[in-house]
Homo-oligomer: A and B are copies of this chain.
Amino acid sequence: MESKIIASLDLTDESKLVRMAEEIGQSVFAIKINWPTILSLGKGIIKRLSETSNIICDLKIADIPNTNRLIMEQIATQHPWGVIAHLFTGKDSMESIVKAAGDAKVIGVVAMSNPGASEYLNGNYGNLVEDAKSLGCYGIVAPGNDYNLLERISKMKGNLKIFSPGVGAQGGGYNKALLSGADYVIIGRSLYENPDPIGYIKSLERK
């Protein structure tokens, strides 16, 4: 069965990152990297890691349409499996990402997992989900540590896939997130800081 785990590898040491990606890449659905890795190692690391797994660039892009396009065009040259961008900066901004994404799947943020996300962002999830559908996103990001919110989002997701962070170090549970509607569960520190990451992955999937 295909794994539903996405490993978030926020590593900046190239040999450690590549070693970890080679170790777990085929045991997870995808590996997610973020700006800290790209800032340290350059965007070429995206293509390099693609040899080990599907790569998702979690860039939370949140700029005006022209800048979003310029960012996305450069990322697209490295052919990641997917890219994460914000929807709250408006439909024009996301439209620009989708147009420039090339073969990368676009995943829009409809709610986040940090406590502060409830202050402004998360209350807009309903409209943001509709925007993600109408703009041709492949999926959405919704918190894996807020099961009620995740369930509400899951009921309206249509064909969108739900990618849920906040599991592990941020408190969410793997099975509870899946039962609440997540299609993929993003696990970061609790996986890559684990002395036996493959054992950890298997223990999650056995439950």
Within 8 A of B (CB), among A74-99: 74-75, 86-94
Please tell me how many copies of the chain the complex holds: 2
Is A127's CB within 8 Å of the partner chain B?
Answer: yes
Is A179's CB within 8 Å of the partner chain B?
Answer: no
CB–CB A38/B39 < 8 A:
yes
Measured between beta carbons, the chain B residues less than 8 angstroms from A114 are 64-65, 89-90, 92-93
Measured between beta carbons, the chain B residues less than 8 angstroms from A115 are 90, 92
Among B42, B91, B119, the residue within 8 A (CB) of A90 is B119
Q: Within the assembled complex, what's the spacing in Å between the Cα atoms of A69 and B62?
A: 17
Known A36-B74, A39-B43: A89·B112 in contact at CB below 8 Å? yes
Q: Within the assembled complex, what's the spacing in Å between the Cα atoms of A142 and B165?
A: 31
Is A60's CB within 8 Å of the partner chain B?
Answer: yes
